[in-house]
Chains A and B, each alone.
Chain A
Amino acid sequence: MKKKLIKFYPLIPVFTVYILLFFIGKNVPGMWQLVAMLLFYCALGQAFNIFLGMTGYVDFGYVAFMGVGTYGMALAITRLASIEELGIGIIVAGFALALLMSTLLSLAVGAVALRLRGAYFAIATIGVNEGLRFLIEGARIWNGSEGLIFVSDINNILGRDTADALMTFWADVMVLVIAALAAVVTLYYMRSKIGYALTALREDEDAAKVMGINVTKYKIIAFITSSCFAGLIGAASWALKTPYVFPPEVFEIQYTIEAIIIVLLGGAGTLLGPVAGGLIYGISKYYLAVYVPGFQLLIFAPIIIVIITLFPEGILGMLKNRFQNTGLAHFII
Protein backbone atom coordinates (compact mmCIF):
# COMPACT_ATOMS: atom_id res chain seq x y z
CA MET A 1 0.00 0.00 0.00
CA LYS A 2 2.77 2.38 0.97
CA LYS A 3 4.61 1.54 -2.24
CA LYS A 4 1.52 2.47 -4.19
CA LEU A 5 1.30 5.82 -2.45
CA ILE A 6 4.97 6.65 -2.98
CA LYS A 7 4.21 6.80 -6.67
CA PHE A 8 2.08 9.86 -6.11
CA TYR A 9 4.52 11.73 -3.85
CA PRO A 10 5.94 13.81 -6.71
CA LEU A 11 2.54 15.44 -7.13
CA ILE A 12 2.71 16.85 -3.60
CA PRO A 13 5.24 19.63 -4.31
CA VAL A 14 3.48 20.49 -7.57
CA PHE A 15 0.09 20.81 -5.93
CA THR A 16 1.59 22.64 -2.96
CA VAL A 17 2.93 25.29 -5.30
CA TYR A 18 -0.41 25.66 -7.05
CA ILE A 19 -2.38 25.85 -3.82
CA LEU A 20 0.05 28.39 -2.34
CA LEU A 21 -0.16 30.49 -5.48
CA PHE A 22 -3.93 30.39 -5.31
CA PHE A 23 -4.08 31.54 -1.68
CA ILE A 24 -1.48 34.25 -2.16
CA GLY A 25 -3.39 35.55 -5.15
CA LYS A 26 -6.71 35.39 -3.39
CA ASN A 27 -5.66 36.95 -0.10
CA VAL A 28 -2.88 39.41 -0.88
CA PRO A 29 -4.39 42.47 -2.52
CA GLY A 30 -3.03 43.24 -5.97
CA MET A 31 -1.32 39.90 -6.38
CA TRP A 32 -3.91 38.12 -8.52
CA GLN A 33 -2.52 39.51 -11.76
CA LEU A 34 0.96 38.14 -11.06
CA VAL A 35 -0.44 34.83 -9.82
CA ALA A 36 -2.55 34.48 -12.95
CA MET A 37 0.53 35.07 -15.07
CA LEU A 38 2.54 32.51 -13.10
CA LEU A 39 -0.25 29.96 -13.39
CA PHE A 40 -0.33 30.55 -17.11
CA TYR A 41 3.40 29.99 -17.48
CA CYS A 42 3.38 26.91 -15.23
CA ALA A 43 0.50 25.43 -17.21
CA LEU A 44 2.23 26.26 -20.49
CA GLY A 45 5.46 24.62 -19.32
CA GLN A 46 3.69 21.60 -17.91
CA ALA A 47 1.73 21.07 -21.13
CA PHE A 48 4.68 21.60 -23.45
CA ASN A 49 6.91 19.37 -21.33
CA ILE A 50 4.74 16.36 -22.16
CA PHE A 51 6.00 16.65 -25.71
CA LEU A 52 9.32 18.54 -25.64
CA GLY A 53 10.52 17.09 -22.36
CA MET A 54 9.46 13.52 -22.87
CA THR A 55 10.30 13.07 -26.55
CA GLY A 56 13.15 15.55 -26.99
CA TYR A 57 11.49 16.92 -30.12
CA VAL A 58 11.21 20.70 -30.37
CA ASP A 59 7.89 21.89 -31.72
CA PHE A 60 8.25 25.48 -32.89
CA GLY A 61 4.60 25.64 -33.87
CA TYR A 62 3.28 24.92 -30.40
CA VAL A 63 1.41 28.20 -30.05
CA ALA A 64 -0.77 27.20 -33.02
CA PHE A 65 -2.52 24.70 -30.75
CA MET A 66 -3.21 27.41 -28.19
CA GLY A 67 -4.49 29.60 -30.98
CA VAL A 68 -6.79 26.90 -32.30
CA GLY A 69 -8.05 26.24 -28.77
CA THR A 70 -8.79 29.93 -28.37
CA TYR A 71 -10.76 29.85 -31.60
CA GLY A 72 -12.60 26.75 -30.38
CA MET A 73 -13.89 28.59 -27.32
CA ALA A 74 -14.60 31.75 -29.31
CA LEU A 75 -16.53 29.87 -31.97
CA ALA A 76 -18.59 27.96 -29.43
CA ILE A 77 -19.55 31.18 -27.67
CA THR A 78 -20.32 33.23 -30.79
CA ARG A 79 -22.22 30.45 -32.58
CA LEU A 80 -24.19 29.19 -29.60
CA ALA A 81 -24.90 32.60 -28.04
CA SER A 82 -28.49 32.53 -29.27
CA ILE A 83 -29.33 29.47 -27.18
CA GLU A 84 -29.86 31.20 -23.87
CA GLU A 85 -30.79 28.17 -21.78
CA LEU A 86 -27.26 26.84 -22.30
CA GLY A 87 -25.97 29.11 -19.53
CA ILE A 88 -22.61 28.03 -18.15
CA GLY A 89 -22.85 24.96 -20.40
CA ILE A 90 -21.57 27.15 -23.20
CA ILE A 91 -18.15 27.18 -21.51
CA VAL A 92 -18.18 23.38 -21.41
CA ALA A 93 -19.07 23.33 -25.09
CA GLY A 94 -16.24 25.78 -25.71
CA PHE A 95 -13.70 23.55 -23.99
CA ALA A 96 -14.99 20.53 -25.89
CA LEU A 97 -14.63 22.33 -29.20
CA ALA A 98 -11.17 23.62 -28.23
CA LEU A 99 -10.17 20.06 -27.39
CA LEU A 100 -11.58 18.71 -30.64
CA MET A 101 -9.91 21.35 -32.79
CA SER A 102 -6.50 21.02 -31.19
CA THR A 103 -6.71 17.23 -31.43
CA LEU A 104 -7.55 17.38 -35.12
CA LEU A 105 -4.77 19.86 -35.82
CA SER A 106 -2.23 17.82 -33.85
CA LEU A 107 -3.24 14.67 -35.72
CA ALA A 108 -2.76 16.42 -39.03
CA VAL A 109 0.54 18.03 -38.08
CA GLY A 110 1.82 15.00 -36.19
CA ALA A 111 1.05 12.51 -38.95
CA VAL A 112 3.21 14.48 -41.35
CA ALA A 113 5.87 16.21 -39.26
CA LEU A 114 6.61 13.41 -36.79
CA ARG A 115 8.11 11.40 -39.62
CA LEU A 116 10.92 13.93 -39.56
CA ARG A 117 13.62 13.97 -36.93
CA GLY A 118 15.46 16.54 -34.86
CA ALA A 119 16.07 19.86 -36.58
CA TYR A 120 13.94 18.88 -39.59
CA PHE A 121 10.93 18.42 -37.35
CA ALA A 122 11.56 21.78 -35.71
CA ILE A 123 11.79 23.54 -39.09
CA ALA A 124 8.65 21.86 -40.39
CA THR A 125 6.65 22.97 -37.38
CA ILE A 126 7.72 26.62 -37.62
CA GLY A 127 5.53 26.79 -40.70
CA VAL A 128 2.45 25.54 -38.89
CA ASN A 129 1.49 28.58 -36.85
CA GLU A 130 2.52 31.13 -39.47
CA GLY A 131 0.71 29.16 -42.15
CA LEU A 132 -2.40 28.82 -40.07
CA ARG A 133 -2.45 32.50 -39.22
CA PHE A 134 -2.16 33.57 -42.85
CA LEU A 135 -4.74 30.98 -43.87
CA ILE A 136 -7.25 32.39 -41.39
CA GLU A 137 -6.49 35.96 -42.41
CA GLY A 138 -6.21 35.36 -46.15
CA ALA A 139 -9.14 33.01 -46.63
CA ARG A 140 -11.23 35.08 -44.19
CA ILE A 141 -12.01 32.03 -42.08
CA TRP A 142 -13.80 32.83 -38.81
CA ASN A 143 -13.97 36.51 -39.71
CA GLY A 144 -10.36 36.61 -40.94
CA SER A 145 -8.13 39.35 -39.62
CA GLU A 146 -11.04 41.18 -37.99
CA GLY A 147 -11.14 38.37 -35.47
CA LEU A 148 -13.97 37.37 -33.22
CA ILE A 149 -15.19 39.63 -30.44
CA PHE A 150 -17.63 38.10 -28.01
CA VAL A 151 -17.74 40.24 -24.86
CA SER A 152 -21.40 41.02 -25.39
CA ASP A 153 -22.22 37.37 -26.07
CA ILE A 154 -20.70 36.28 -22.76
CA ASN A 155 -22.47 39.09 -20.92
CA ASN A 156 -25.80 38.17 -22.50
CA ILE A 157 -25.59 34.52 -21.69
CA LEU A 158 -24.08 34.55 -18.23
CA GLY A 159 -25.20 37.92 -16.99
CA ARG A 160 -22.79 40.77 -16.36
CA ASP A 161 -21.66 39.78 -12.85
CA THR A 162 -20.94 36.15 -13.66
CA ALA A 163 -19.18 37.16 -16.86
CA ASP A 164 -16.97 39.61 -14.93
CA ALA A 165 -16.10 36.99 -12.32
CA LEU A 166 -15.34 34.55 -15.10
CA MET A 167 -12.97 36.89 -16.89
CA THR A 168 -11.15 38.21 -13.84
CA PHE A 169 -11.05 35.14 -11.61
CA TRP A 170 -12.52 31.86 -12.79
CA ALA A 171 -10.63 31.79 -16.09
CA ASP A 172 -7.38 31.75 -14.09
CA VAL A 173 -8.70 29.06 -11.77
CA MET A 174 -9.44 27.00 -14.86
CA VAL A 175 -5.83 27.46 -15.97
CA LEU A 176 -4.79 26.19 -12.55
CA VAL A 177 -6.97 23.12 -12.94
CA ILE A 178 -5.56 22.50 -16.42
CA ALA A 179 -2.00 22.80 -15.08
CA ALA A 180 -2.79 20.34 -12.29
CA LEU A 181 -4.37 17.93 -14.77
CA ALA A 182 -1.30 18.18 -17.00
CA ALA A 183 0.85 17.29 -13.98
CA VAL A 184 -1.26 14.22 -13.23
CA VAL A 185 -1.11 13.09 -16.86
CA THR A 186 2.66 13.67 -16.95
CA LEU A 187 3.16 11.52 -13.86
CA TYR A 188 0.85 8.85 -15.23
CA TYR A 189 2.83 8.72 -18.47
CA MET A 190 6.13 8.62 -16.59
CA ARG A 191 5.00 5.63 -14.55
CA SER A 192 3.50 3.72 -17.46
CA LYS A 193 4.94 2.00 -20.51
CA ILE A 194 4.30 5.19 -22.45
CA GLY A 195 6.92 7.01 -20.37
CA TYR A 196 9.50 4.25 -20.76
CA ALA A 197 8.91 4.14 -24.51
CA LEU A 198 9.26 7.93 -24.74
CA THR A 199 12.48 7.93 -22.69
CA ALA A 200 13.89 5.21 -24.94
CA LEU A 201 13.05 7.01 -28.14
CA ARG A 202 14.31 10.32 -26.77
CA GLU A 203 17.68 8.76 -25.98
CA ASP A 204 18.08 6.64 -29.11
CA GLU A 205 15.25 6.32 -31.57
CA ASP A 206 16.79 3.55 -33.70
CA ALA A 207 17.71 1.41 -30.72
CA ALA A 208 14.18 1.93 -29.38
CA LYS A 209 12.67 0.66 -32.64
CA VAL A 210 14.83 -2.45 -32.62
CA MET A 211 13.69 -3.12 -29.07
CA GLY A 212 10.10 -3.36 -30.15
CA ILE A 213 8.90 0.17 -29.56
CA ASN A 214 6.52 1.63 -32.12
CA VAL A 215 8.15 5.04 -31.91
CA THR A 216 5.70 6.83 -34.19
CA LYS A 217 2.76 5.74 -32.05
CA TYR A 218 4.30 6.99 -28.82
CA LYS A 219 5.48 10.25 -30.36
CA ILE A 220 1.94 10.89 -31.60
CA ILE A 221 0.48 10.07 -28.17
CA ALA A 222 2.79 12.62 -26.54
CA PHE A 223 2.19 15.15 -29.30
CA ILE A 224 -1.60 14.94 -29.14
CA THR A 225 -1.70 15.03 -25.33
CA SER A 226 0.56 18.04 -25.22
CA SER A 227 -1.37 19.83 -27.97
CA CYS A 228 -4.74 19.17 -26.30
CA PHE A 229 -3.52 20.85 -23.13
CA ALA A 230 -2.29 23.76 -25.24
CA GLY A 231 -5.78 24.05 -26.72
CA LEU A 232 -7.36 24.06 -23.26
CA ILE A 233 -4.91 26.69 -22.02
CA GLY A 234 -5.71 28.87 -25.03
CA ALA A 235 -9.43 28.46 -24.43
CA ALA A 236 -9.21 29.32 -20.73
CA SER A 237 -6.44 31.84 -20.56
CA TRP A 238 -6.93 33.67 -23.80
CA ALA A 239 -10.53 33.31 -24.91
CA LEU A 240 -12.18 33.56 -21.50
CA LYS A 241 -9.89 36.17 -19.96
CA THR A 242 -9.96 38.50 -22.92
CA PRO A 243 -13.10 37.72 -24.89
CA TYR A 244 -11.78 38.41 -28.36
CA VAL A 245 -9.46 36.62 -30.78
CA PHE A 246 -7.22 38.20 -33.38
CA PRO A 247 -5.02 35.92 -35.48
CA PRO A 248 -1.73 37.82 -34.97
CA GLU A 249 -2.14 37.63 -31.19
CA VAL A 250 -2.95 33.96 -30.81
CA PHE A 251 -0.41 32.76 -33.34
CA GLU A 252 2.44 34.78 -31.85
CA ILE A 253 5.63 32.68 -31.91
CA GLN A 254 6.87 34.38 -28.73
CA TYR A 255 4.73 32.02 -26.66
CA THR A 256 6.36 28.97 -28.22
CA ILE A 257 9.77 30.40 -27.35
CA GLU A 258 8.63 31.12 -23.81
CA ALA A 259 7.37 27.55 -23.45
CA ILE A 260 10.73 26.19 -24.61
CA ILE A 261 12.62 28.42 -22.17
CA ILE A 262 10.40 27.42 -19.25
CA VAL A 263 10.81 23.71 -19.92
CA LEU A 264 14.58 23.88 -20.38
CA LEU A 265 15.06 26.23 -17.45
CA GLY A 266 13.17 23.99 -15.08
CA GLY A 267 14.35 20.66 -16.42
CA ALA A 268 13.01 18.88 -19.50
CA GLY A 269 11.23 15.61 -18.93
CA THR A 270 10.77 16.16 -15.20
CA LEU A 271 7.48 16.67 -13.41
CA LEU A 272 8.43 19.59 -11.18
CA GLY A 273 10.71 21.26 -13.71
CA PRO A 274 8.10 23.16 -15.70
CA VAL A 275 6.61 24.49 -12.44
CA ALA A 276 10.02 25.74 -11.29
CA GLY A 277 10.71 27.10 -14.76
CA GLY A 278 7.32 28.79 -14.97
CA LEU A 279 7.78 30.45 -11.58
CA ILE A 280 11.30 31.70 -12.30
CA TYR A 281 10.37 32.88 -15.77
CA GLY A 282 7.13 34.54 -14.74
CA ILE A 283 8.50 36.25 -11.62
CA SER A 284 11.58 37.61 -13.40
CA LYS A 285 9.57 38.79 -16.35
CA TYR A 286 7.02 40.54 -14.14
CA TYR A 287 9.41 42.29 -11.77
CA LEU A 288 11.94 43.21 -14.43
CA ALA A 289 9.15 44.90 -16.36
CA VAL A 290 8.15 46.77 -13.19
CA TYR A 291 11.59 47.84 -12.00
CA VAL A 292 13.60 48.23 -15.19
CA PRO A 293 10.99 48.86 -17.85
CA GLY A 294 12.47 48.85 -21.32
CA PHE A 295 15.60 47.02 -20.24
CA GLN A 296 14.03 43.79 -19.06
CA LEU A 297 15.20 41.66 -21.99
CA LEU A 298 18.73 42.99 -21.64
CA ILE A 299 18.87 41.72 -18.07
CA PHE A 300 16.65 38.72 -18.57
CA ALA A 301 18.70 37.11 -21.35
CA PRO A 302 21.93 36.90 -19.31
CA ILE A 303 19.98 35.46 -16.34
CA ILE A 304 18.67 32.67 -18.54
CA ILE A 305 22.10 32.04 -20.03
CA VAL A 306 23.63 31.83 -16.55
CA ILE A 307 20.99 29.39 -15.28
CA ILE A 308 21.24 27.16 -18.34
CA THR A 309 25.05 27.17 -18.14
CA LEU A 310 25.10 26.41 -14.43
CA PHE A 311 22.40 23.75 -14.63
CA PRO A 312 22.42 22.21 -18.08
CA GLU A 313 19.77 19.73 -17.01
CA GLY A 314 17.59 22.48 -15.62
CA ILE A 315 16.90 23.39 -12.01
CA LEU A 316 15.27 20.01 -11.41
CA GLY A 317 18.16 18.12 -12.94
CA MET A 318 20.40 19.79 -10.37
CA LEU A 319 18.02 19.15 -7.46
CA LYS A 320 17.56 15.53 -8.49
CA ASN A 321 21.29 14.94 -8.40
CA ARG A 322 21.68 16.73 -5.10
CA PHE A 323 18.93 14.85 -3.29
CA GLN A 324 19.62 11.47 -4.85
CA ASN A 325 19.46 8.69 -2.28
CA THR A 326 17.74 10.89 0.29
CA GLY A 327 14.13 10.75 1.38
CA LEU A 328 13.40 13.78 -0.75
CA ALA A 329 14.15 11.83 -3.91
CA HIS A 330 10.61 10.42 -3.89
CA PHE A 331 9.20 13.92 -4.17
CA ILE A 332 11.51 15.31 -6.80
CA ILE A 333 11.15 13.89 -10.26
Chain B
Amino acid sequence: MPLLKLENVTKRFGGLIAVNRVNLEIKAGQFIGIVGPNGSGKTTLFNIVNGVFFPEEGKVIFEDQNITILPPYKRAPLGIARTFQIPRPFCGATVRENIAVGAMFGTHGRYVNVDESLEIADNTIKRVGLRKHRDKPAGILTPVEKKLMEIARALAMKPKLLLMDEAMAGMHPNDIDRMVDFIKKIATEEKIAIVAMVEHIMRALLGMAEKIIVLHHGAKLVDAPTKEALEDPKVVEVYLGKNTKK
Protein backbone atom coordinates (compact mmCIF):
# COMPACT_ATOMS: atom_id res chain seq x y z
CA MET B 1 0.00 0.00 0.00
CA PRO B 2 1.50 3.34 -0.97
CA LEU B 3 1.50 6.06 1.68
CA LEU B 4 0.43 8.74 -0.75
CA LYS B 5 -1.12 8.30 -4.14
CA LEU B 6 -2.10 10.97 -6.63
CA GLU B 7 -4.38 9.87 -9.44
CA ASN B 8 -4.65 12.09 -12.49
CA VAL B 9 -4.57 15.25 -10.44
CA THR B 10 -5.30 18.46 -12.31
CA LYS B 11 -5.42 21.99 -10.93
CA ARG B 12 -6.28 25.03 -13.01
CA PHE B 13 -6.07 28.71 -12.18
CA GLY B 14 -8.40 30.26 -14.73
CA GLY B 15 -6.93 29.33 -18.08
CA LEU B 16 -3.60 28.25 -16.66
CA ILE B 17 -3.11 24.59 -15.95
CA ALA B 18 -0.77 24.57 -12.99
CA VAL B 19 -0.78 20.81 -12.47
CA ASN B 20 -1.72 18.59 -15.37
CA ARG B 21 -2.86 15.00 -14.87
CA VAL B 22 -0.14 14.02 -12.45
CA ASN B 23 0.10 10.48 -11.13
CA LEU B 24 2.35 9.78 -8.21
CA GLU B 25 3.05 7.11 -5.63
CA ILE B 26 5.08 7.43 -2.50
CA LYS B 27 5.82 4.54 -0.19
CA ALA B 28 6.25 4.85 3.56
CA GLY B 29 9.73 5.98 4.47
CA GLN B 30 10.70 6.76 0.90
CA PHE B 31 12.83 9.79 0.01
CA ILE B 32 11.72 11.46 -3.18
CA GLY B 33 12.98 14.55 -4.94
CA ILE B 34 10.69 16.68 -7.03
CA VAL B 35 12.58 18.82 -9.44
CA GLY B 36 11.31 21.41 -11.84
CA PRO B 37 12.09 24.90 -13.02
CA ASN B 38 10.28 27.96 -11.71
CA GLY B 39 6.58 27.78 -12.52
CA SER B 40 6.53 24.07 -13.21
CA GLY B 41 3.81 23.42 -10.62
CA LYS B 42 5.85 22.08 -7.72
CA THR B 43 4.41 24.30 -5.02
CA THR B 44 0.88 23.82 -6.38
CA LEU B 45 1.40 20.07 -6.15
CA PHE B 46 2.43 20.47 -2.50
CA ASN B 47 -0.58 22.63 -1.84
CA ILE B 48 -2.83 19.94 -3.27
CA VAL B 49 -1.25 17.29 -1.08
CA ASN B 50 -1.65 19.27 2.12
CA GLY B 51 -5.04 20.67 1.27
CA VAL B 52 -4.44 24.36 0.62
CA PHE B 53 -5.92 23.79 -2.84
CA PHE B 54 -8.40 21.17 -3.95
CA PRO B 55 -7.80 19.74 -7.42
CA GLU B 56 -10.44 20.11 -10.14
CA GLU B 57 -9.88 16.57 -11.28
CA GLY B 58 -8.29 13.46 -9.89
CA LYS B 59 -7.87 11.98 -6.46
CA VAL B 60 -5.49 12.33 -3.55
CA ILE B 61 -5.25 9.16 -1.49
CA PHE B 62 -3.36 8.95 1.78
CA GLU B 63 -3.11 5.55 3.44
CA ASP B 64 -6.11 4.25 1.49
CA GLN B 65 -8.22 7.21 2.54
CA ASN B 66 -9.51 9.60 -0.08
CA ILE B 67 -8.46 13.03 1.16
CA THR B 68 -9.01 14.96 -2.07
CA ILE B 69 -11.29 17.54 -0.47
CA LEU B 70 -10.27 17.21 3.17
CA PRO B 71 -9.40 20.60 4.74
CA PRO B 72 -5.72 21.08 5.65
CA TYR B 73 -6.26 21.07 9.40
CA LYS B 74 -7.65 17.55 9.16
CA ARG B 75 -4.70 16.33 7.10
CA ALA B 76 -2.02 17.30 9.58
CA PRO B 77 -3.34 14.87 12.24
CA LEU B 78 -3.27 12.10 9.61
CA GLY B 79 0.46 12.66 9.30
CA ILE B 80 1.09 15.18 6.54
CA ALA B 81 3.50 17.99 7.44
CA ARG B 82 5.27 20.58 5.38
CA THR B 83 7.80 23.34 5.43
CA PHE B 84 7.50 26.46 3.35
CA GLN B 85 9.72 27.91 0.67
CA ILE B 86 9.91 31.14 2.61
CA PRO B 87 9.77 30.09 6.26
CA ARG B 88 6.58 31.04 8.01
CA PRO B 89 7.31 30.93 11.72
CA PHE B 90 4.80 32.29 14.21
CA CYS B 91 7.03 35.30 14.71
CA GLY B 92 5.64 36.61 17.99
CA ALA B 93 5.85 33.23 19.70
CA THR B 94 9.10 31.78 21.00
CA VAL B 95 10.93 29.00 19.20
CA ARG B 96 9.80 26.62 21.90
CA GLU B 97 6.16 27.64 21.56
CA ASN B 98 6.33 27.34 17.77
CA ILE B 99 7.56 23.79 17.97
CA ALA B 100 5.14 22.90 20.77
CA VAL B 101 2.29 23.92 18.46
CA GLY B 102 3.48 21.22 16.09
CA ALA B 103 3.31 18.58 18.81
CA MET B 104 -0.07 19.82 20.02
CA PHE B 105 -1.91 19.57 16.72
CA GLY B 106 0.05 16.89 14.87
CA THR B 107 -0.59 13.15 14.73
CA HIS B 108 -0.27 12.80 18.51
CA GLY B 109 -2.11 16.03 19.18
CA ARG B 110 -5.06 14.35 20.85
CA TYR B 111 -2.93 12.44 23.31
CA VAL B 112 -0.53 15.10 24.52
CA ASN B 113 -1.30 18.02 26.79
CA VAL B 114 0.44 21.40 26.81
CA ASP B 115 3.22 20.37 29.21
CA GLU B 116 4.00 17.22 27.27
CA SER B 117 4.04 19.21 24.05
CA LEU B 118 6.55 21.63 25.54
CA GLU B 119 8.68 18.67 26.54
CA ILE B 120 8.55 17.29 23.00
CA ALA B 121 9.50 20.76 21.80
CA ASP B 122 12.52 20.83 24.11
CA ASN B 123 13.73 17.47 22.78
CA THR B 124 13.23 18.50 19.18
CA ILE B 125 15.05 21.79 19.77
CA LYS B 126 18.07 19.87 21.00
CA ARG B 127 18.06 17.71 17.91
CA VAL B 128 18.09 20.61 15.48
CA GLY B 129 20.65 22.51 17.51
CA LEU B 130 18.59 25.57 18.36
CA ARG B 131 18.92 25.23 22.11
CA LYS B 132 20.35 28.67 22.72
CA HIS B 133 17.44 30.25 20.85
CA ARG B 134 14.78 28.33 22.71
CA ASP B 135 13.10 31.29 24.40
CA LYS B 136 13.66 33.87 21.70
CA PRO B 137 10.83 35.01 19.49
CA ALA B 138 11.00 33.06 16.23
CA GLY B 139 10.82 36.29 14.25
CA ILE B 140 14.38 37.29 15.14
CA LEU B 141 16.06 34.08 13.96
CA THR B 142 18.28 34.12 10.86
CA PRO B 143 16.80 32.62 7.69
CA VAL B 144 18.73 29.38 8.16
CA GLU B 145 17.62 29.10 11.77
CA LYS B 146 14.06 29.75 10.68
CA LYS B 147 14.29 26.88 8.22
CA LEU B 148 15.66 24.62 10.93
CA MET B 149 12.91 25.72 13.24
CA GLU B 150 10.28 24.95 10.62
CA ILE B 151 11.68 21.49 10.17
CA ALA B 152 11.69 21.01 13.93
CA ARG B 153 8.10 22.20 14.08
CA ALA B 154 7.16 19.71 11.36
CA LEU B 155 9.07 16.91 13.13
CA ALA B 156 7.29 17.63 16.38
CA MET B 157 4.09 16.78 14.52
CA LYS B 158 5.42 13.21 14.18
CA PRO B 159 4.38 13.05 10.52
CA LYS B 160 4.40 10.11 8.15
CA LEU B 161 4.99 12.34 5.18
CA LEU B 162 7.07 15.50 5.20
CA LEU B 163 6.89 17.88 2.29
CA MET B 164 9.91 20.17 2.10
CA ASP B 165 9.50 23.14 -0.16
CA GLU B 166 12.92 24.41 -1.27
CA ALA B 167 14.52 23.52 2.03
CA MET B 168 17.88 24.78 0.85
CA ALA B 169 17.13 27.66 -1.46
CA GLY B 170 19.29 30.70 -0.90
CA MET B 171 21.55 29.02 1.62
CA HIS B 172 25.27 29.28 1.97
CA PRO B 173 27.04 26.05 0.82
CA ASN B 174 28.20 25.36 4.38
CA ASP B 175 24.65 25.58 5.62
CA ILE B 176 23.47 23.36 2.79
CA ASP B 177 25.85 20.64 3.90
CA ARG B 178 24.61 20.94 7.44
CA MET B 179 21.02 20.81 6.29
CA VAL B 180 21.59 17.83 4.02
CA ASP B 181 23.21 15.90 6.85
CA PHE B 182 20.33 16.76 9.08
CA ILE B 183 17.68 15.72 6.58
CA LYS B 184 19.52 12.47 5.92
CA LYS B 185 19.58 11.81 9.62
CA ILE B 186 15.88 12.37 10.16
CA ALA B 187 14.98 10.39 7.05
CA THR B 188 16.76 7.31 8.35
CA GLU B 189 15.98 7.76 12.04
CA GLU B 190 12.33 8.66 11.89
CA LYS B 191 11.29 6.63 8.87
CA ILE B 192 9.33 9.56 7.55
CA ALA B 193 8.61 9.68 3.85
CA ILE B 194 10.20 12.88 2.64
CA VAL B 195 9.34 14.69 -0.51
CA ALA B 196 11.89 17.40 -1.12
CA MET B 197 11.22 19.92 -3.78
CA VAL B 198 14.00 21.82 -5.43
CA GLU B 199 14.18 24.18 -8.34
CA HIS B 200 17.59 23.09 -9.52
CA ILE B 201 19.19 19.72 -9.63
CA MET B 202 21.30 19.64 -6.52
CA ARG B 203 23.72 16.81 -6.31
CA ALA B 204 23.77 16.93 -2.56
CA LEU B 205 20.07 16.40 -2.14
CA LEU B 206 19.65 14.08 -5.06
CA GLY B 207 22.30 11.78 -3.67
CA MET B 208 19.80 10.93 -0.95
CA ALA B 209 16.73 10.54 -3.11
CA GLU B 210 15.59 7.13 -4.22
CA LYS B 211 13.47 8.53 -6.95
CA ILE B 212 13.29 11.79 -8.85
CA ILE B 213 10.20 13.27 -10.36
CA VAL B 214 10.72 16.06 -12.86
CA LEU B 215 7.84 18.43 -13.45
CA HIS B 216 7.60 20.64 -16.49
CA HIS B 217 4.67 22.95 -17.26
CA GLY B 218 2.60 21.20 -14.62
CA ALA B 219 3.00 17.74 -16.08
CA LYS B 220 5.20 14.88 -15.01
CA LEU B 221 8.10 14.64 -17.41
CA VAL B 222 10.17 11.96 -15.79
CA ASP B 223 9.58 9.59 -12.90
CA ALA B 224 12.57 7.37 -12.45
CA PRO B 225 15.25 6.27 -10.01
CA THR B 226 17.65 9.12 -9.36
CA LYS B 227 20.50 8.07 -11.58
CA GLU B 228 18.37 7.39 -14.61
CA ALA B 229 16.40 10.58 -14.15
CA LEU B 230 19.50 12.72 -14.13
CA GLU B 231 20.73 11.26 -17.39
CA ASP B 232 17.39 11.45 -19.13
CA PRO B 233 17.73 13.62 -22.25
CA LYS B 234 14.32 15.21 -21.59
CA VAL B 235 15.54 16.52 -18.24
CA VAL B 236 18.68 17.93 -19.78
CA GLU B 237 16.51 19.62 -22.36
CA VAL B 238 14.25 21.27 -19.79
CA TYR B 239 17.19 22.80 -18.00
CA LEU B 240 19.66 23.48 -20.76
CA GLY B 241 17.62 23.57 -23.93
CA LYS B 242 17.68 21.25 -26.91
CA ASN B 243 20.93 19.98 -28.27
CA THR B 244 20.78 21.20 -31.86
CA LYS B 245 24.12 19.74 -32.92
CA LYS B 246 23.50 16.35 -34.26
Contact = CB atoms under 8 A, between A and B. Distances in A.
Interface residues of A, number: 21
Interface string B68-94: 000111111100011010001111110
B93 A211 contact: no
A192 B114 CA distance: 6
A81 B76 CA distance: 54
A196 B92 contact: no
Given A196-B101, A211-B153, A212-B76, A191 B114 contact: yes
A269 B101 CA distance: 17
Q: Which among B74, B76, B157 has the highest number of chain A CB atoms within 10 Å?
A: B76
Contact of B102 (A203, A209, A211): A211
B109 interface: yes
A206 B104 contact: no
A209 B88 contact: no
B177 to A, nearest CB: 27
A268 to B, nearest CB: 10
B106 A212 contact: yes
Interface in A200-228: 200, 202-204, 206-215
A199 interface: yes
B77 A212 contact: yes
Nearest to A196: B101
A219 to B, nearest CB: 12
Given A199-B97, A203-B90, 5 more contacts: A199-B92, A207-B88, A210-B50, A212-B105, A269-B92
Interface of B: 50-52, 71-77, 81-82, 84, 88-93, 97, 100-102, 104-106, 109, 113-114, 117, 153, 157
A206 B52 contact: yes
Contacts of A196: 93, 97, 100-101, 104, 114, 117
A199 B105 contact: no
A193 B114 contact: yes
A204 B88 contact: yes
Interface of A: 191-193, 196-197, 199-200, 202-204, 206-215, 269
Contacts of A192: 114
A41 B50 CA distance: 44
Contacts of B75: 212
Contacts of B153: 211
Contacts of B90: 199-200, 202-204, 207-208
Contacts of A212: 72-77, 105-106, 109, 157
13 contacts: A191-B114, A192-B114, A196-B93, A196-B101, A196-B117, A199-B97, A203-B91, A210-B73, A212-B72, A212-B73, A214-B73, A215-B73, A269-B92
B127 to A, nearest CB: 19
A211 B105 contact: yes
A46 to B, nearest CB: 20
B51 to A, nearest CB: 8
Nearest to A269: B92
Contacts of B89: 203-204
A191 B117 CA distance: 12
A94 to B, nearest CB: 36
B107 to A, nearest CB: 9
Contacts of A191: 114
Contacts of A208: 90, 101
Contacts of A203: 89-93
